[in-house]
Structure 1
Amino acid sequence: MTERRDGSADGDPVAQTFALDGGLPVRRLGFGTAQLTGPGYWGPRGERADAVAVLRRAVDRGVTLIDTADNYGPGLAEELVAEALAPYPAGLTVATKGGVVRTSDSGWHVEGRPERLRAMCEASLRRLRTETIGLYQLHRLDPAVPMEEQVGALDELRREGKIRYIGLDTVTAEQLERALALTGIASVQNRFNLLDRASAAVLRLCETHGLAFLPWFPLANGALTGTAASALDSVAGRHGATRGQIALAWLLHRSPVLCPTPGTGSPAHLDENLRAVEIRLSAEDMRDLDALVPLVPLDPGSRAAGR
């Protein structure tokens, strides 16, 4: 079986890789680090050695995209990534985010002034022990700062070689269009999963422009265990899989630009998630899953809004 340029193999319609900005290939199923920190993304969740071990296991199992953020911990998740993986092996892309300042497990605010974004990026470089961040994502657009100044700050950092690619987090289709008119954007990270498809218009725009879409909360932040997702059981039963595996497989089948990065602190759960790439959903499976009634979109004032 040979692999084609789109990342799929002969006879296999599901691409396993995606080329960031059309050039840098990453495995579409990555690993997110938020679950390595405590409730509200504040402080540690467990033993530091266990978090390091899970990160190393993810890369050993073939993950080439690690997604983190400076406000996870805060700072802790980036430090764990560096402790586990630096110096980074060839082919591994570490994505991080800046632009949100966390003040407690329930307190945070957006900060998009250019001088603050520069300071955040340089702090991430130090914590990650690298000279260049593969993908640096603006964690939130600051409504008090013109977009041109926020995106311009990241563009300047890219020209200086401190970041390779620019991404945006939690944006509308209109905001993405405006950003694309200002500079090159490689990725978007919006909430999107089997039970929340409110960002479908943004996904279509990513497909049009060839941008990676990193869906946050790809497993619906625990909602898949509720009754709203009970129809998952019939599809999971046909494949001998778990609900979570089917939800991840749905994302991989839904669009070739979707690159989910589920996180966990459990080696067994990590292995379970990564086996989702082996599942091939039929047209009937996709119809059944598409028919699930999406949940009400996330309240922007909730704890998760600052994730």
Structure 2
Amino acid sequence: MLISTATAAFAGRTVSRIGYGAAQLDRLHDRRDEAVALLRRAVELGVDHVDTAEFYGFGFANAVIREALRPEDDVLVVTKVGADPDPGGRLPLRIAQRPEQLRASVEDNLRSLGREHLAVVNLRRLDTGPGLRAEGDQVVDLDDQLALMTALRDEGKIGAIGLSSVTLDGLRRALPAGIVCVQNAYSLVSRDDEDMLRLCTAEDIAWVPFFPLGGAFPGLPKVTEEPAVRAAADSLGVTPSQVGLAWLLHHAPNVLLIPGTADAAHLEANMAVGEIAFDDATGAALDAVESRSSEVSIG
């Protein structure tokens, strides 16, 4: 396979195709020094883009990023809005889709990250994929949200706009706003959004899959349980998880990975997937794995 697994364009920059997702940092909530050290290790290994949100650990992830990252690291920090922390709720977050809530969420991220400007902000919609669905006054038209996001960009509070949990129609509607990335649930075993991935490739929009190994909720298929994935892992001397991540890199040139972990050894294993190559037979066997729906709702 000839697709480069080294770098790709993202938000006007060239970045490593393997970044870091900060959601798992909360597992180190009581060991803050370890969390900071883990993020410093990620930078040493070549991570130059980090995905975060104020609702990751009720601000803990953002606080660690603020402490760990230095200006000279030149790491692109990507955050998201559309939900807020809810420490006392049945779930650890609450939906926050209204324009005034999106603005407040941007301000919260600016404050906790200690910044005057957010390089990329993903608008987390709730239109597709596994997870919550908006109800009542949280059902907000995409155009109204984009109007707010572009206003924040014009004000200099954010640099670029991404979308998350969005439909193909929603992405098409949003293209005039200048979308730089899409974050949807996507993996070898859940490829519902293949048409959207093709559109992103054509439009030079980064495709940043979350749940890249599936199985995040009960009922979702898991990449690591697929016989073809296990066979490839055995043949290559790597783990099934590494095969699943490597397949994503090889599948399209605009895929960026943001695997999360709270373990340094796991971090190194994730970063190593860029070195994994598939021969034609292995690639064909992985491509032939059946795709199953990722539509599972919670809440």
- State the TM-score, normalizing by the size of structure 1: 0.86
Spell out, residue by residue over 1:255-275, the C-alpha distance to the aligned partner (whole angstroms, 9 max, x if none).
Answer: 011101000000000001111
The whole-number CA distance in structure 2 between the counterparts of 1:31 and 1:196 is 21
State whether structure 2 residue 197 is matched by structure 1 residue 207.
no
Matching of residue 294 in structure 1 with residue 291 in structure 2: yes
Q: Cα RMSD over matched residues?
A: 2.0
**Structure 2 counterpart of 1:97, from 70, 80, 104:** 80
SS in 2 for 1:241: coil
What SS does the aligned partner of 1:89 have?
Answer: helix
Match of 2:57 among 54, 73, 95: 73
Q: Which aligned pairs between 1:126-137 and structure 2 lie closer than 5 A?
A: 126-137=111-122
Correspondence for 2:164 among 164, 169, 187: 169
> Sequence identity of aligned pairs in percent?
38
> Could you give the per-residue CA deviations for residues 30-63 of structure 1, whole angstroms, max 9, x where no partner exists?
100111125xxxxx55511111111111111101
Q: Which has the higher contact order (CA 8 A, sep 6+)?
A: 2
Paired residue secondary structure (2:61): helix
Q: Alignment partner of 1:186: what SS?
A: strand
Counterpart residue type for residue 216 of structure 1: F
Q: Does 1:185 align with 2:170?
A: no
Please give the secondary structure, in 1, of the residue aligned with 2:160.
strand
Distance 2:209 2:193 in 1: 9
Letter aligned with residue 211 of structure 1: I
1:269 to 262, 266, 274: 266
Query: Kindly tell me: are residues 105 and 260 of structure 1, through their superposed partners in 2, closer, same or farther at Cα, counting changes over 3 Å?
Result: farther
2:19 maps to 1:34: no
Deviations 1:176-233 (A, max 9, x none): 001113x11100000011111112121111011110011001122472443xx13212
Deviation at 1:105, TM superposition (A): 5.7
Q: Look up the SS of the partner of 2:179 in the other structure.
A: coil
In the other structure, the counterpart of 1:305 is none
Does residue 48 of structure 2 align to residue 64 of structure 1? Answer: yes
1:17 maps to 2:7: yes
Distance 1:127 1:108, change over 3 A: closer
Cα 1:210–1:178 change in 2 (3 A) is same
How much has 1:13 moved relative to structure 2?
Answer: 3.5
Does residue 50 in structure 1 map to residue 27 in structure 2?
no
Q: Does 1:121 align with 2:106?
A: yes
Determine the structure 2 residue equivalent to 1:242: 239
The CA deviation at 1:91 is 3.2
- Provide, for residues 100-137 of structure 1, a one-character-per-residue CA deviation record: whole Å limited to 9, x for no partner: 12423625432222222111101101111122111101
- Distance in 2, Cα, partners of 1:289 & 1:45: 37
- Structure 1 stretches lacking a partner, 5+ long: 1-10, 39-43, 303-307
**SS of aligned partner of 1:37:** helix
Q: CA deviation at 1:88?
A: 3.1
Question: What is the CA-CA distance between 1:146 and the residue it aligns to?
Answer: 2.1
The number of residue pairs the alignment matches comes to 282
Task: In structure 2, list runs of 5 or more residues that go unmatched.
Answer: 127-133, 217-221
* Alpha carbons of structure 1 residues 57 and 130: separation in structure 2 relative to 1, 3 Å: same
Residue 232 of structure 1, aligned match among 229, 232, 245: 229
One-letter amino acid matched to 1:203? L
In structure 1, how many angstroms separate the alpha carbons of the residues matched to 2:243 and 2:90?
31
